[in-house]
Chains A and B, each alone.
Chain A
């Protein structure tokens, strides 16, 4: 006969000393993007105890999603199911205690105050413009933002903890600006595609999403001291994983200069660190 320990879904999680499961259960997560990363992140969120998850995506499922998206089925591809709805349903299938909500629509159409209703924002996006949008709104709302990106066997996760430290935009340069409005993915109507379409495969997706959720567990558990400083970079072809530093960019629009009136004739400026 199994004992009480074996009946507890989270018994093994409770054995990780620093995990604050009660806090994790309560944490309100905003997951933006329900593609490959969104599927894997949704799975990890549900299994690790996050119960209050809102999923935002405007897109629908197509056949080419199916090599890396756990929750999508051939039937979803045939009927063009909305990705956000399928992922939200999948989270609740895994975790009966979860209350996952789907928002089908463009991120840019959501009001800025939308972010105030969440504790953590996870970016599972496929284009730079949307990343900049999510990053700046999360930063200005004072919400931790965990951003994931991948291409083939290369992956990246960045953790932004406002009001301190750099944000995703601090790490961008002119090469990002040139492709900012292109989508690095495979579906959608009326959008400009990056050509050639990018490679994507599930092992990189799994690894990147696992790191994103692990960092979210630290934040939710009040252990920001343990989070990445500030970027995780993974190259699966060379089997290299390392932490890199993206310095704060004083010219980044998310870090406005702090103007100090020293005297009538002298004004000093510097960035808010």
Chain B
């Protein structure tokens, strides 16, 4: 099966830095979160990816999440302290 790859950008909400990633539609949001967090050496913790005002579901594929080429997603920490 041939998978179409596409490029998009992920922004680090804490620093404003961006990274361009090449993915295919069957990659999951979870995988993207892990890749971006690893790339920026993020502390262990909870993070979410959002597209605009919508938080993307971790288990869904990028295709199912409606992610498209050239999208800019944002990696934000999910604060869990109280």
A247 to B51, alpha carbons, bound, how many Å?
12
Contact present for B55 and A231 (CB under 8 Å): yes
A interface footprint on B55-82 (CB within 8 Å = 1, 0 otherwise)? 1011100000000000000001111111
Secondary structure call for the A interface: mixed
Contact present for A173 and B50 (CB under 8 Å): no
A126 to B50, alpha carbons, bound, how many Å?
23
A198 in contact with B81 given A173-B29, A173-B33, A179-B44 (CB within 8 Å): yes
| Chain B contacts with A in 26-57, Cβ cutoff 8 A | 29-30, 33-34, 37, 43-48, 50, 53-55, 57
Cross-chain contact of B80 among A38, A149, A247 (Cβ < 8 A): A149
B interface footprint on A141-169 (CB within 8 Å = 1, 0 otherwise)? 00000001111101110000000000000
Q: A95 interface residue, CB < 8 Å from B?
A: no
Among B29, B59, B79, find the residue whose CB has the most chain A CB atoms closer than 10 A.
Answer: B79
Q: Which of A2-10, A29-37, A220-228 contacts B (4 or more CB under 8 A)?
A: A29-37
Contacts of B78 in A (CB 8 A): 149, 156, 171-172, 175-176
Contacts of B77 in A (CB 8 A): 151, 154
A115 to B58, alpha carbons, bound, how many Å?
29
Cross-chain contact of B79 among A151, A249, A251 (Cβ < 8 A): A151
Chain A proximity of B74: nearest CB distance (Å): 10
Contact present for B81 and A196 (CB under 8 Å): no
A151 in contact with B47 given A173-B33, A173-B59, A174-B30 (CB within 8 Å): no
Residue of A nearest to B33 (CB): A175
Q: How many residues of A contact B (CB 8 A)?
A: 46
Contact present for A128 and B81 (CB under 8 Å): no
Contact present for A174 and B58 (CB under 8 Å): yes
Contact present for A244 and B82 (CB under 8 Å): no
Contact present for A235 and B13 (CB under 8 Å): yes
Q: A202 interface residue, CB < 8 Å from B?
A: no
Contacts of B29 in A (CB 8 A): 173
Q: A178 interface residue, CB < 8 Å from B?
A: yes
Contact present for A184 and B30 (CB under 8 Å): no
Q: A136 interface residue, CB < 8 Å from B?
A: no
Contacts of A251 in B (CB 8 A): 59
Q: A13 interface residue, CB < 8 Å from B?
A: no
Contact present for B53 and A150 (CB under 8 Å): no
A173 in contact with B80 given A194-B45, A235-B13 (CB within 8 Å): no
A266 to B33, alpha carbons, bound, how many Å?
37
Residue of A nearest to B59 (CB): A251
Contacts of A246 in B (CB 8 A): 55
Contact present for A173 and B79 (CB under 8 Å): no
Q: Would you mind naming 16 contact pairs between A and B with Cβ atoms under 8 Å apart?
A: A124-B82, A149-B78, A149-B81, A150-B81, A154-B79, A171-B48, A173-B57, A173-B59, A175-B58, A176-B78, A179-B80, A196-B43, A200-B81, A233-B76, A242-B53, A245-B54
Binding site for A on B (CB under 8 A): 13, 29-30, 33-34, 37, 43-48, 50, 53-55, 57-59, 76-82
**7 closest pairs, A vs B, by CB?**
A173-B58, A151-B79, A126-B82, A184-B81, A174-B30, A149-B79, A176-B46
Binding site for B on A (CB under 8 A): 33, 35-38, 123-128, 131, 148-152, 154-156, 170-176, 178-179, 184-185, 194, 196, 198, 200, 231, 233, 235, 242-247, 249, 251
